Amino acid sequence: MYAVICSGGKQYKVTEGQSIDVEKLNNEIGDKVNFDVLLFSDDKKVQTGKPSLKNVVCEAEVIAHGKDSKIVVFKYKAKKNERKKQGHRQPFTRVKILSIKQV
């Protein structure tokens, strides 16, 4: 059994018990979060929503907050002696999928 959920404008294929990193959520560690389910599949059939399913709930728990590894952003213009180097670390929230169930 799996589901495709939407969080932060991105889609993730998840199963129960799986931990994933999503865009930063404004929740405390230990809080429960519900995600929009776009697609749900059990062993028998696949259900899709328009845009999301109303009868399927994906519940997750916030495990941790953190930052990804640094990426280097380097901009320059040829023959102008213009150079700009900066780094970026994207914040994320790690969640554990507790249950995917039909209501």
DSSP H helix total and E strand total for the chain: 0, 9
Q: What angle do CA 5, 48, 62 make, to 5 degrees?
A: 15
This prediction has a pTM of 0.85
Mean pLDDT of 41-58: 92
pLDDT at 103: 84
Question: What are phi and psi for residue 81, nearest 5 degrees?
Answer: 60, 35
* Cβ atoms 75, 35 nearer than 8 A: no
Kindly tell me if the per-residue pLDDT of 70 is higher than 90. Answer: yes
Mean of the per-residue pLDDT values of the chain? 95
Tens-digit pLDDT profile for residues 87-101: 999 999 999 999 999
Distance CA 58, CA 63 (A): 16
